[in-house]
Structure 1
Amino acid sequence: MPASHDGLWSIGELAGHAGVTVKTVRFYSDRGLLPEASRSAGGHRRYGPDALDRLRLIRSLRALDLPVPEVRRVLDEEDAWGAALEDAVAGRLRALGSQLRALRWREAALRLVRECPPGERAARLRLLGAVDTPPSTAPLARFWRAWLPPRMPARSTAAFLEATVPQPPDDPEPAQVLAFARLHALVTRPCPAGEQPQPEAHRTAGARGAAVLYAALAEAYELAGPHLRREREPHAGEALDGFVAAYASAYGTRDTPGFRRLLAGQLAADPRLDRYWELVAVLNTPPGGRPGPTPGSAHDWLLAALRAQIAEAA
């Protein structure tokens, strides 16, 4: 690639060697990405041969959709293939993943509207219009934070939210988009009298007692999971004992037949969140699969096991 007698190229020569327009070279020069070697007597830009490799690298980075500030950080690093490039590529991959996830949710939402009966489209559009794309679980977390006892330890609250707030699937079916939209509507609608109904355990155990309760209940729900997956009838056993022990520990009492009868009555009178867990089950069901256990379905199975045991002993 011959250059002029001083070994430098004009802006047009550099553009020709790189296969780009003069406007492109000027754009990168004006932003400090492509330094000039000098200026001619007439004030025209002059570039050294190393500018060609730099320009090609800039074009490659821009082809990966890296923004100009990220390109500058890569070029400013001594080793152009070092940490700055790794960070920039990782950032773009995260952004692209989020964009793809949003597109999949939009596609599923469009299919949902197309496939539903005409008479239901207006209602479904209202549901979908209230949800971000991709969807945020923040409203669900706020719902549960308001439901939990005040001043519950942060670590216990985080563990509870992890178990109760479902993560929307990355590639949803239309039914899952509808389930999430309905879940969002459920947790954001105003509660009667401005407050969410609280279970008796919150009043009896208090914040720290509730933290102990939910940690122990999580273990009982996990033990009940295999029985639910195998569709076994509710029955006494380790899962039920752990379930009752969780409440007994939170209340500071012993597990006795009398306590089990009182507990069954109390839990039957507690406010129900069945619709929430029904929708969570839809979100957690893989395409073509069967719904897996949720904390709600595990709770219902254990409560049914408790009632069956009491009835058998009567």
Structure 2
Amino acid sequence: MSSDGLWSIGELAARAGVTVKTVRFYSDRGLLPEAGRSSGGHRRYGAEAVDRLRFIRSLRSLDLPVPEVERVLEDDGAGGALEEAVAERLRDVGSQLVALRWKEASLRLLRDCASGERTERLRLLGALPTPPDTDALARFWRRALPARLPRPVVSMVLDAVVPRPPEEPDPEQVLAFARLHALVTDPRLERPEFRPGPPLPDGEYRPVVLYEGLAEAYGLASAEVLSGRAPQDGGALDCFVAAYAHARGEADTPAFRRRLIGLLALDDSPVLPRYWKLAAGLFAPDEPVLGMLHHHLSVALRVQVHGPAA
């Protein structure tokens, strides 16, 4: 330490346990203000520079970018900037952990499968980002939904039909999600026989009324399934039929219920049954799959109208 009580750049580096290059870098960025200069023009630092340098190193050890460190220091390290920076890093680390878990489950999937399956599974996994997102699934459903459906209704539908990738997937969930992604991005979906059809013939119903009514029916059916009961007469089934009747501007009569059975059977695309089968293991255990609820309600309607199958 010089007679004026200040340290040279080398002395500061030694006391803080860093290199001279590091001190110079932060000083050049304005993160480590100088206390003065020597007669020869060399930088001098006060004792407080050690604490400031250690604080900077602590932030950098948490992988905060230098611009974020600058913001924290400008805020004196005790205000909202530090809280925001820590929260942002926690989100980043969380995303990295999810990505690592998906990589681990993907590697286990490849390790434990038969050798003849690895090439196909690698192809499926190679089409997914890590961790995967739901963009392709959302696009698939947006194409299938009626045009000009209000945004809140579209969001409601997407929330119900698009499974979120598990944060801690097992190998089977990784395989199911990869196959689901391959299904919704299959070029054959451009062909009419593969493209999912509308829930009712175009121009013969009010989509908003139908989808809002179905949301209520599926909610009731979900409660029945979670309580261990299959949809029966009344409750969810009545709400299900009413959704279609109101959307078509008709009354819920025995004749309408008979016609509805035929309308529900119009869509013979092989895509949706495959979609719901793959998606089933990706929804939360307490979250009944919408496609399965629709199937249960359709079966309940057939049983009510025609009686149990022999």
TM-aligned CA deviation for residue 31 of structure 1:
1.9
Partners of 1:157 and 1:211 within 8 A in 2: no
Cα shift readout 1:1-53 (whole Å, capped 9, x = no counterpart)? xx321121101111122122222211211222112122222232111222112
TM-aligned CA deviation for residue 194 of structure 1:
4.0
Separation (CA, whole Å) in 2 of partners of 1:169 and 1:193: 29
Matched, 1:134 2:155: no
Separation (CA, whole Å) in 2 of partners of 1:117 and 1:61: 47
TM-score by length of 1: 0.92
Structure 2 equivalent of residue 50 of structure 1: 48
Of residues 291, 294, 304, the one that matches 2:299 is 304
Structure 1 equivalent of residue 276 of structure 2: 277
Of residues 138, 152, 157, the one that matches 2:154 is 157
Amino acid at match of 1:271: D
TM-aligned CA deviation for residue 232 of structure 1:
4.2
Matched, 1:169 2:166: yes
Amino acid at match of 1:61: L
Structure 2 equivalent of residue 199 of structure 1: 198
How many corresponding residue pairs?
304
TM-aligned CA deviation for residue 111 of structure 1:
0.4
Structure 1 equivalent of residue 95 of structure 2: 98
Of residues 78, 81, 94, the one that matches 1:84 is 81
Partners of 1:9 and 1:46 within 8 A in 2: yes
TM-aligned CA deviation for residue 140 of structure 1:
0.4
Cα shift readout 1:242-272 (whole Å, capped 9, x = no counterpart)? 0000000111110000000000011022235
SS in 2 for 1:203: coil
Gap change, CA 1:132 and 1:95, over 3 Å in 2: same
Structure 1 equivalent of residue 119 of structure 2: 122
Separation (CA, whole Å) in 2 of partners of 1:89 and 1:186: 39
Query: Structure 1: which 5+ residue stretches go unaligned?
Result: none
Structure 1 equivalent of residue 25 of structure 2: 27
TM-score by length of 2: 0.93
Partners of 2:145 and 2:198 within 8 A in 1: no
SS in 2 for 1:46: strand
Separation (CA, whole Å) in 2 of partners of 1:253 and 1:19: 81
Separation (CA, whole Å) in 1 of partners of 2:189 and 2:37: 75
Structure 1 equivalent of residue 250 of structure 2: 253
More moved, 32-41 vs 94-103: 32-41
Q: Matched residues, percent identical? A: 61
Separation (CA, whole Å) in 1 of partners of 2:214 and 2:159: 14
For the aligned residue pairs, the C-alpha RMSD in angstroms reads 1.8
More moved, 12-21 vs 301-310: 12-21
